[in-house]
Amino acid sequence: MLAMNYRGPFRVRADRNKPDPEILHPRDAVVRVTRSCICGSDLHLYHGLVPDTRVGMTFGHEFTGVVVELGSEITNLKVGDHVLVPFNIACGSCPFCQQELYGNCHESNPEATAVGGIFGYSHTAGGYDGGQAEYVRVPYADIGPTVIPSGMDLDDAALLTDVVPTGYQAAEMGGIQKGDTVVVFGAGPIGLMAARCSWLFGAGRVIIIDHLDYRLEFAKQYAQCEAYNFMKDMDDPVVFIKKTTDYFGADVCIDAVGCEAAGSSLQTITGRKLMLQAGSATALQWAINSVKKGGIVSIVGVYGPTWNLVPIGNVVNKGITIRANQASVKRLLPRLIEHVMAGRLNPKGLITHRVPLEEISDAYHIFSAKRDNCIKPMLIPDSASVAA
């Protein structure tokens, strides 16, 4: 089959000779992919920052597809069902799944206990080949895959596998109370969705911070929020946020940037060049320093497994609560499907590039280098159009 093939940092291609996936467990399904996205998380892999990213792996954790084969224990799906597949691989019965912490399953990732299994996300997340391919093996298919409701746009369905739940959970973890001021760092797909969802929780003011003007312009429309450029509109983002909140700070700060943050040479050099820390923690540092005393910092940006330079003393002195996780997609899906069907959320509005799977090298480069005003690229395999 045609599948993305990782060859090393900044080098990916689509190859035709990858063997089709098989059923390897009675709770598996094999799905023919109809839509597949590239995520900001994939960029951390693409840039070679995630340990145990092996050459030959196929990435991709945001996909929809048609069920073509089912393991013997799957009774809630049938061949031909068109499903959206949450990015978390979750067993449904371990202590964490029982608590609806589907992003923290204990039975899907042998390589690391700190991370649940994720499709196409290195061996540190279980070593699964992902959905940037024509076919993909879906373990625990009785738990994750959700039949796409009739009338739902396929592009919306694809974004319900990660971007929408992650953005929503970022806001939810912020514990936003009516009237709260929320600052979102990062105007990528995740930050945009977090800003949009902050309103759903009753925020009084939503501010988004980035350094890419085209994304900030997009944010003003898409998330109806204030948008500022940390390179142009301010000297020091922390002072800027303090000033704009009567010198108190924001009630809630959301880190939707993660380990490849720009904005501080110390963080960038130690984190991204010398790799003395697990990426640069600039956005998190700003979030901690610009939140109000007693405020909440919600982290969905991804960091590496080693360590990062963050002002933990300020967390103590300001009495900050930090909440963070991989999104628990399955827990949130029922509510989010309602929001999308009711038109309250417009996920597909984020997609700026629709690219054939064959041209994956270009798609990665465009998204990584932020060319052509890219917000969110989507890959469409040839085989998707045959019967979809």
Ligand X SMILES: NC(=O)c1ccc[n+]([C@@H]2O[C@H](COP(=O)([O-])OP(=O)(O)OC[C@H]3O[C@@H](n4cnc5c(N)ncnc54)[C@H](O)[C@@H]3O)[C@@H](O)[C@H]2O)c1
Interaction residues for another protein, span 225-284 (CB under 8 A) = 275
Interface residues toward Zn ion, by CB under 5 A: 39, 41, 62, 90-91, 94, 97, 105, 107, 162
User: For the packed helices 163-173 and 329-341, what is the interaxial angle rounded to 10 degrees?
Assistant: 100
3-class SS of residue 210 = strand
* Cβ closest to another protein, residue 59 vs residue 230: 59
Residue showing tokens 């689509």: 14
Contact between 167 and ligand X per CB under 6 A: no
Q: Which is nearer to another protein, 128 or 286 (CB)?
A: 128
Minimum distance of Zn ion from residue 41's CB (angstroms): 5
The distance of closest approach from Cβ of residue 278 to another protein in the complex, given in angstroms and rounded to an integer, is 8
The rounded distance, in Å, linking the Cα atoms of 158 and 64 is 6
Residue of 93, 177, 221, 317 interacting with another protein (CB under 8 A): 93
Nearer to another protein, 175 or 311 (CB): 175
Amino acid in the structure at residue 274: L
The DSSP bridge pattern shows strands 29-37 and 63-70 to be antiparallel
Where are the strands (E) in the chain, listed by range? 3-8, 11-15, 29-37, 63-70, 82-85, 88-89, 117-118, 135-138, 146-147, 181-185, 205-210, 226-229, 250-255, 291-299, 321-324, 351-356, 376-380
Q: Of residues 331, 333, 347, 375, which one binds another protein by CB under 8 A? A: 331
* Residue 218 in contact with another protein, rule: CB under 8 A: no
Residues 355-384 that bind another protein (CB under 8 A): 361-366, 368-369, 371-372
Question: Which residue in the set 174, 249, 263, 304 belongs to the binding site for ligand X (CB under 6 A)?
Answer: 263
In the window 22-61, what residues touch another protein (CB under 8 A)?
24-28, 48, 51-58
Closest separation in Å from C-beta 217 to ligand X: 12
Residue 181 touching ligand X (CB under 6 A): no
Q: Is 302 in the site for ligand X (CB under 6 A)?
A: yes
What is the distance in angstroms between the CA of the first residue and the CA of the last residue of the chain? 17
Which of 74, 101, 77, 75 minimizes the C-alpha distance to 90?
Answer: 101
How near is the Cβ of 44 to ligand X at its closest, in Å?
6
Instruction: Convert residues 157-186 into a mask of x (bound to another protein by CB under 8 A) and - (unbound).
Output: ------------x--xx-------------
Contact between 172 and ligand X per CB under 6 A: no
- CA distances 369 to 38, 90, 365, Å, are 13, 33, 6
Interaction of residue 228 with ligand X, rule CB under 6 A:
no
279 binding ligand X? (CB under 6 A): no
Please, what is the minimum distance in Å from the beta carbon of residue 36 to ligand X? 14
- Under the binding rule (CB under 8 A), the answer on residue 328 touching another protein is yes
| Binds ligand X by CB under 6 A, chosen from 57, 141, 148, 190 | 190
Closest approach of ligand X to the CB of residue 287, in Å: 9
- Quote the least distance from Cβ 101 to Zn ion, whole Å: 8
- Separation between Cα atoms, residue 3 and residue 19, nearest integer Å: 9
Q: Which two tokens stand for residue 96?
A: 């964490």
Q: Is residue 280 within 8 Å of residue 19, measured between CB atoms? A: no
Contact status, residue 119 vs residue 89, Cβ threshold 8 Å: yes
Q: Hey, which residues between 288 and 327 contact another protein (CB under 8 A)?
A: 304-306, 321, 323, 325
Report the residue number, 97 or 182, with the smaller CB distance to Zn ion.
Answer: 97
- Residues with Cβ within 8 Å of 262's Cβ and at least 6 positions away in sequence, in order, are 211, 268, 280, 282
Give the residue at shortest CB distance from Zn ion.
Answer: 39
User: What burial class does residue 151 get, using C-beta atoms within 10 Å of its C-beta: 0-12 exposed, 13-18 middle, 19+ buried?
Assistant: exposed
> Any idea what the Cα angle at residue 268 is, between residues 263 and 270, rounded to 5°?
150
Contact 62, 163 (CB under 8 A): yes
CA separation for the pair 116, 94 (Å, rounded) = 11
- Can you give the binding site for ligand X, defined by CB under 6 A? 39-41, 43-44, 162, 166, 185-191, 209-212, 215, 230, 256-258, 261-263, 282-283, 300-302, 326-327
